[in-house]
Chains A and B, each alone.
Chain A
Amino acid sequence: MAKPPRPSASPSHLLYLLSLLSLLIIHLSTTCVLADSHFEGFEADDEDEALDSADSLQFSNLRSPPVSQSESPPATTKLTPSEPDTATADPTQSGTPDHPPTSPDLSKPSSTGFDYWDEDEFEGLPFLEQHQQQPSEPSKAAEDAVGPQDPSPDPKSTPAASPAKRSYMVEIVCGSFLIMFAINYFTGKRENENIALAWAAKFATKESIFEKNFSLLGVGEGEDSPLLLKEGQNVFKFYASGRRYCQGLLATMELKSRHDLISRIYNLIVPCKDEISFEVYMNDDAMDNVIFAVAKKKAAKGMQKELRDLQRFAGLLPPPGGRKWVAEELSVISESKEVAGDMITEAVLDQVFGEKAFEKFGKGFISMHFSDQHPGGHSKMLLFKFTLPDVNNMADMTRLVSLVPYYIDLVGRYKISPQARSKTEAARAKAAQEAHKELQNARQEALQKRKLERKKMMEEAEAKLGAEALRKKEAKERARQMKKSMPRMKMTRGH
């Protein structure tokens, strides 16, 4: 653990890969355009029909037509020897080689009036042969799609050949993206591990801050337990226990998703930082009525709106006159001025929160929140949030980390004055009453819901019963009422 971590792979190789990929895409797109350049003079209809004809070809069972004989049924008109062949040939077939045949079935010639025709006039044959070779050579087609191509348009090439080239674009892009994702996954994972290990090496090994303050370090039981628990590829946890005033401390490192290429690209647009948060679970008898928070101005406003305990009990405090206070960038939220004054000591101002100290050592500070009314499993907690520096600059956050044991002792020893206590206890009693009322209301609502459900069930059951059953029920009820209305007579036996 104490060994210096390996230097992480720089993101330059990632940019290099991205640039290579983009060059490949550009090259492919230009070759596709060049391949299609000889279609420019065509109308849209011709092109669509040609594509349709290419789709309709079944390559698996395609056989080459005889060169000298038509496959159409024998024609009724016979050709006399005196008439030349070329005179009766279809003009659409004997056009320029650039024009694709427009008939939907390419295995048959368009001029089907004759049993025999000249070999030179059948323009579709090379096109068919070309397609017959394609299924047997898929690797060649793939090479054509990737490899460099001659930009000069081939007069024999036909419109059906270009979609085959175009169709590999999606596969190339997605495949290369997946390969890059896999490479980035391993490099990013290693980077995150290096950051977490660097932090642990600095603050959780022998002769470090946490080793001097806690008797149990690590997430397992025993001496050889691992220091860090890896919860995800970018979430690492460190646990410490065995200290006065507190039950334990849980540090959670939430790093950038370096292992995830999509998140990495997103973080280029919306930057974020590596964060570490400390949760200190205080002993119930060690923490007095304290609700206090320090954060950067924007974050402080957000905290006061979002966090229930700060919202109910605390408010933003203006800087007091006549004494040193926190840097201008910071805001203090507290239940009372007394608590705020006692929590922000001279030592803390000199070390971190003072104007000069904050410029040097407070760069990584995000927020600090102490509360005895914390919502959740544990009510008495101290929360610290800092940003993590680079692997090589872990020492920069030494002063921030040393705030944690300092405040554990300060809050553990702290006792508020009787006046402040009466105020805080009144506020807590009021809050408890409100909570109790809310609970009662919730219970009543639940009861009403149950009653309504029962009523509905009864009504449904009645609706299911038939008309006869209803009559019987009514008759029974009448009989019952009659019995009730009848005068009661005592039968006495006379002797």
Chain B
Amino acid sequence: MSHNNANDPRQPSAARPFKAPVVSPQDLPVDYSGFIAVVFGVAGVMFRYKLCSWLAIIFSVQSLANMRNMENDLKQISMGMMFAIMGLVTTYFGPPRPASRK
């Protein structure tokens, strides 16, 4: 299957430099972890569950680790991260939740 030098398959004249294909946001794979981060972040802020906020942080970090396209992915990741941080801030530094009365 190898080629000898007499029959060299290379053609420098036919060489074309690499052009990265333009990927539209619709064709990108779905960022599930980013979506989950936003969901948990919103839940953490609204219901003030610190576990939700922590999970939102974890999933947004995962989304950040798996990010490919800076422009397209960063919106969702930053939103998830913001909600998560807001949730943690309100949980730890905000006024305490009223105790459940019988």
A-side residues, CB < 8 A to B, are: 48, 51-52, 55-56, 170-171, 174, 177-178, 181, 185, 212-216, 218-221, 229, 231-233, 235, 239, 241-244, 247-248, 250, 257, 259-263, 347, 351, 377, 399, 402-403, 405-406, 408-409
Contacts and interface: CB of A to CB of B under 8 A. Distances in A.
Contact of B15 (A52, A215, A231, A399): A215
Contacts of A232: 66-68
Interface in B45-90: 50-51, 54-55, 57-58, 61-62, 65-68
Q: Considering the complex of A and B, which 7 residue pairs feature the smallest CB-CB distances, nearest first?
A: A242-B15, A55-B99, A216-B15, A174-B54, A239-B18, A215-B12, A215-B10
A178 B2 CA distance: 50
A221 B17 contact: yes
A405 B3 contact: yes
A405 B1 contact: yes
A38 B96 CA distance: 28
Given A170-B51, A247-B14, A260 B3 contact: no
A243 B8 CA distance: 9
Contacts of B62: 181, 260-263
A220 B68 contact: no
Given A55-B99, A213-B3, A262-B33, A242 B57 contact: no
Interface string B7-43: 0011111111110110000000000010000000000
Given A262-B33, A405-B3, A243 B11 contact: yes
Contact of B66 (A214, A233, A244, A405): A233
B18 A178 contact: no
Given A233-B66, A260-B62, A244 B17 contact: no
Contact of B3 (A52, A212, A220, A241): A212
A262 B33 CA distance: 10
Most buried by A among B21, B51, B67: B51
A220 to B, nearest CB: 7
Contact of B10 (A231, A242, A347): A242
Given A174-B58, A213-B9, A262-B33, 5 more contacts: A171-B54, A181-B61, A214-B15, A216-B15, A219-B18
A52 B10 contact: no
Contacts of B33: 262
Nearest to A55: B99
A402 B65 contact: no
Q: Which of B55, B65, B67, B96 has the most CB of A within 10 A?
A: B65
Determine chain B's interface SS by DSSP, over half rule.
Answer: loop
Contacts of A405: 1, 3, 9
A281 B11 CA distance: 15
Contacts of B3: 212-213, 405
Contact of A214 (B10, B20, B21, B68): B10
Name, among B15, B54, B67, the residue most crowded by chain A CB atoms within 10 Å (CB to CB): B15
Given A260-B65, A402-B2, A406-B1, A229 B15 contact: no
A229 B21 CA distance: 13
A291 B63 CA distance: 39
A202 B1 CA distance: 17
A405 B10 CA distance: 11
B1 A242 contact: no
Contacts of A229: 18, 20
B63 to A, nearest CB: 10
B65 A242 contact: no
A233 B65 contact: yes
Given A239-B18, A259-B65, A244 B9 contact: yes
Contact of B18 (A241, A244, A377, A408): A241
A48 B62 CA distance: 39
7 contacts: A52-B100, A212-B3, A213-B3, A233-B66, A242-B10, A244-B10, A405-B1
A212 B17 CA distance: 18
A243 B2 contact: no
Nearest to B59: A262
A233 B20 CA distance: 17
Contacts of B16: 216, 241-242, 247-248
Nearest to B54: A174
A61 to B, nearest CB: 14
Contacts of A219: 18, 20
A244 B11 contact: yes
Contacts of A239: 18
A178 B15 contact: no
A174 B50 CA distance: 11
Given A247-B16, A405-B3, A242 B54 contact: no
B42 to A, nearest CB: 18
Contacts of B50: 170-171
Given A242-B14, A247-B16, A347 B1 contact: yes
Contacts of A220: 17-18
B11 A242 contact: yes
Contact of A235 (B1, B21, B68): B68
B91 to A, nearest CB: 10
**Most chain A CB neighbours (cut-off 10 Å) among B21, B51, B62:** B62
A138 to B, nearest CB: 11
Contact of B14 (A213, A233, A243, A263): A243
Nearest to A174: B54
